[in-house]
Amino acid sequence: MELNENLLAGPPPTLLPDHQEAREMIETGYKAADVAARFPAYSAAWATLADDYFAKGHAVTSYAFARTGYHRGLDQLRRAGWKGHGPIPWEHEPNRGFLRCLNALARAAQAIGEKDEAERCNQFLRDSSPAAADALAS
C-alpha cells in the first residue's frame, strides 16, 4: 500500500471488457435474440430484448430477459474485480449492457408489482452510475 493512497476514496471504477463481435452484430442489425443465443454473456443483447418486450407490453418476459442479463453482467463484473460495490461508469460503453439490464429489471419489477425490488435496483443503478440513472430516466 502506498503511503499517499486515499483509503476513503472507495473502490476504483470497474470497466468491463468489450465484446467486439457481439457489439458489431447488434450494431449491424442482427436480432438481439440471435446475439444472446450466440453470446449469452453479452448483457447488451439481453437489455435490448428486455426493452423490446417491455415496449410491446410483455412485462414478465421483459423481467426475465433483464434478470438474465443482470446476472450475466454480475458474473462479468466479479471477474473484472468488482467486490459488490463501487462505480460502474456509464461512460465506458461495455458497461452499458449491464446498466441497461439493471434499469430494465427495475422497470419490469415495478410493472409486475415488485416494488421493493424495483427500489433496490433503482438505488443500485444510481449508486453504480449516476450518469446511467440520469441517461436511462429519459
pLDDT, one tens digit per residue, over 69-114 is 999 999 999 999 999 999 999 999 999 999 999 999 999 999 999 9
Q: What's the rounded Cα separation, in Å, for the pair 28 and 134?
A: 27
The amino acid that residue 37 corresponds to is: A
Q: Using N-to-C axis directions, what is the helix angle for 130-137 and 96-111, rounded to 10°?
A: 60
3-class SS of residue 11: coil
Domains of the chain, each with CATH number or no CATH: 31-137 (1.25.40)
| Mean pLDDT score across all residues of the chain | 96
pLDDT at 2 over 60: no
CA distances from 49 to 7, 81, 85 (A): 40, 27, 26
- The pLDDT of residue 126 is 98
- Measured torsion, CA atoms of residues 113, 116, 122, 126, in degrees rounded to the nearest 10: 170
pTM of the model: 0.93
